[in-house]
């Protein structure tokens, strides 16, 4: 401080010591220094102690052979040759899979229940209320155990599999779906499907512009259905049905062939979806109630029916209230997916913080990586939700 030239002090004022601005900087610097020192000493202490106790440290284990198996994997992984690093990705992808599907499903279910609770239909609104009150007030872990047993217990063993339409089989090892195999020329169908999606989006944008300009409405839903579903199916027939299916069949203890959907995954997804939907329903209800009654009355006065009133007038305004708490529910769902460990779903915590941690013994590194991953997932989710929030925010002129 002594280096600061005295000219900066205005004549007639007290010394630098009493300048609130300078004092503020000094306090903030001191706080930063204390926090920095604490972090540094904790880290260096941990390293010294790890060395003193001859506990291995560092991230060298990442490339070591893992030597164990995981049942549900989205990337190739086997006991022969895969590394701990690959085990990490297997767990991470399983976490992202259940979290992303869970977010989509719980949003739909949550909006439905939230709107239903405000319905003028007495039975529907009471049912929605009971759903919300029951689901929200029971611990998620208990619900997961319930779903796991509810999914597992009534199902038969593989030899007595329940036969479902289209060659799918259901038993206590999971749901087995026919596995589609692309024959020659089959990729045309995939391309048609992708082009259909792009064309639908372009058409929707165009239709909206047209409506804003002329007021004319187009059947966007039907045309999108035609482009995305009917057209590829037509191509499938024209090209001579180049997609064949491998059907699951009983072989030994289990089934062979087909795509297996594991009961652990289904139980976790059901648990997370129904639980989070309970919270989202309340968020949606709060958002809708925040829109003043005058808006609905104005829409009714214009002759809009209940459906369009909700869709075009109420929900768009409610979204401004809904999005921020909705984001935190998405984050909760992602973090809650780590309870998978209790019912044997191989998510990041189960595979990485469980088996890998135990086999390598490197708790500090493994736990730090896992924390960093959840932090990253949460921050990325928040980032996109904030962008969406900005788009939905009230445009002030």
The binding site for another protein (CB under 8 A) comprises 42-43, 45-46, 48-50, 52-56, 67-71, 79-80, 149, 152-153, 155, 157, 172-173, 251-254, 256, 263-264, 341-344, 346, 350, 353-355, 357-361, 363-364, 367
Q: How far is the CB of 27 from another protein (least distance, A)?
A: 26
Residues 6+ apart with CB under 8 A from 190: 182
The answer to whether the beta carbons of residues 345 and 97 sit under 8 Å apart is: no
The two structure tokens encoding residue 198: 């792009």
Taking the least distance from each CB to another protein, the nearer of 94 and 309 is 94
| CA quadruple 372, 374, 380, 385: dihedral sign | negative
CA 59 to chain centre: 28
Taking the least distance from each CB to another protein, the nearer of 245 and 262 is 262
The CA distance from 149 to 267, in Å, is 8
Q: How many CB atoms lie within 10 A of CB 328?
A: 15
Taking the least distance from each CB to another protein, the nearer of 146 and 193 is 146
Taking the least distance from each CB to another protein, the nearer of 59 and 108 is 59
Q: Classify residue 91 as exposed, middle or buried by CB count within 10 Å of its CB (0-12, 13-18, 19+).
A: buried
Q: Which of 192, 196, 230, 200 is nearest to 218 (CA)?
A: 200
CA distance from start to end of the chain? 47
Question: Which secondary-structure segment (H or E) carries 285?
Answer: helix 263-290
Taking the least distance from each CB to another protein, the nearer of 252 and 294 is 252
Q: How far is the CB of 108 from another protein (least distance, A)?
A: 29
Q: How far is the CB of 233 from another protein (least distance, A)?
A: 34
Q: How far is the CB of 99 from another protein (least distance, A)?
A: 19
Q: How far is the CB of 126 from another protein (least distance, A)?
A: 35
Taking the least distance from each CB to another protein, the nearer of 150 and 201 is 150
Q: How far is the CB of 177 from another protein (least distance, A)?
A: 17
Taking the least distance from each CB to another protein, the nearer of 258 and 263 is 263
Q: How far is the CB of 180 from another protein (least distance, A)?
A: 22
Q: How far is the CB of 60 from another protein (least distance, A)?
A: 11
Bridging pattern class, strands 259-261 and 174-177: antiparallel
Taking the least distance from each CB to another protein, the nearer of 34 and 197 is 34
Q: How many CA atoms lie within 13 A of 348 on its CB side?
A: 23
The CA distance from 181 to 179, in Å, is 6
């Amino acid at each position: 401080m002594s280096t600061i030239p005295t000219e900066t002090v205005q004549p007639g004022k007290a010394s630098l010591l009493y300048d609130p601005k300078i004092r503020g900087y000094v306090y903030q610097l001191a706080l930063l220094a204390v926090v920095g020192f604490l972090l540094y000493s904790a880290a260096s202490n941990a390293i010294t102690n790890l060395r003193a106790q001859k506990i291995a440290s560092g991230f060298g284990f990442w490339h070591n052979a893992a030597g164990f198996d995981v049942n549900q994997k989205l990337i190739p992984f086997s006991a022969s040759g895969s590394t701990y690093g690959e085990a990490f990705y297997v767990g991470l992808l399983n976490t992202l899979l259940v979290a992303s599907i869970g977010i989509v499903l719980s949003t739909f279910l949550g909006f439905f229940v939230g709107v239903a609770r405000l319905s003028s239909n007495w039975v529907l609104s009471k049912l929605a209320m009971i759903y919300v009150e029951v689901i929200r007030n029971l611990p998620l872990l208990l619900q997961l155990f319930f779903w796991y047993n509810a999914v597992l217990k009534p199902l038969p063993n593989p030899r007595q599999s329940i036969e479902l339409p289209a060659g799918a089989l259901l038993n206590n090892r999971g749901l087995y779906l026919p596995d589609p195999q692309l024959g020659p020329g089959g990729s045309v169908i995939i391309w048609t499907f992708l082009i259909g999606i792009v064309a639908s989006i372009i058409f929707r944008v165009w239709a909206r512009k047209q409506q804003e300009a002329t007021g004319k409405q187009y059947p966007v839903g039907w045309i999108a259905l035609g482009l995305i579903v009917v057209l590829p199916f037509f191509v499938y027939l024209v090209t001579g049905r180049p997609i064949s299916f491998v059907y699951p069949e009983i072989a030994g203890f289990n089934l062979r062939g087909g795509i297996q959907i594991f009961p652990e995954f289904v139980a976790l997804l059901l648990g997370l979806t129904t639980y989070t939907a309970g919270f989202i329903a309340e968020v949606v209800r709060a958002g809708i109630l925040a829109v003043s009654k005058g808006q609905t009355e104005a829409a009714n006065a214009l002759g809009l029916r209940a459906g369009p009133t909700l869709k075009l007038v109420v929900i768009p305004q409610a979204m401004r209230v809904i999005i921020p708490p909705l984001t935190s529910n998405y984050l909760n769902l992602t973090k809650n997916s780590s309870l998978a460990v209790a019912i044997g779903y191989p998510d990041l915590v189960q595979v990485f913080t469980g088996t890998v941690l135990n086999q390598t013994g490197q708790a500090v590194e493994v736990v730090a990586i896992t924390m960093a991953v959840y932090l990253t997932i949460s921050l990325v989710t928040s980032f996109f939700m904030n962008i969406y929030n900005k788009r939905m925010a009230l445009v002030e002129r």
